[in-house]
Amino acid sequence: MVYDVTSAALHSALSGLSTRRRVIADNIANVDTPHYLAGRVSFEDSIQRALEGARTGRVDAAGVGSVAADRTMSDAATRLNGNNVSLDDEVVSQTTNELAYSTVLEAMNGKFRLLRTAISQGA
């Protein structure tokens, strides 16, 4: 399999966005659960640092592809029941995340189309 830095970054982004999707779904499911703190997922800065490392030769494609998403708990203010999930914020996050996922998936599909074209032209 061809595993270049671009493919690795796209793979890490899809993985991070999938993790974020699950966390948002958990948050929405627990909107009324007492003392539940909303989860947050971050990975974009880690991918950016890995890409910078790849550009300077400190990180290879496998390093970019193995960027893990960090899950943390929200420090937003809680309601009286100790829960800090905002359904409005979660719906916006879910929509934004789905758009980002679709965009990254289309970029990955474009990469595979280019590869398929290169292979067929070489035959």
* pLDDT tens sequence across 14-37: 999 999 999 999 999 999 999 999
Partners of 72 in the β-ladder: 40
Q: Are 19 and 41 within 8 A, CB to CB?
A: yes
The pLDDT tens digits for 42-68 are: 999 999 999 989 888 888 878 888 889
Tell me what percent of the residues of the chain surpass a pLDDT of 90. 76
Query: Which amino acid is it at 6?
Result: T
The Cα 25–Cα 20 span in angstroms is 9
Q: Does the pTM of the predicted model rise above 0.85?
A: yes
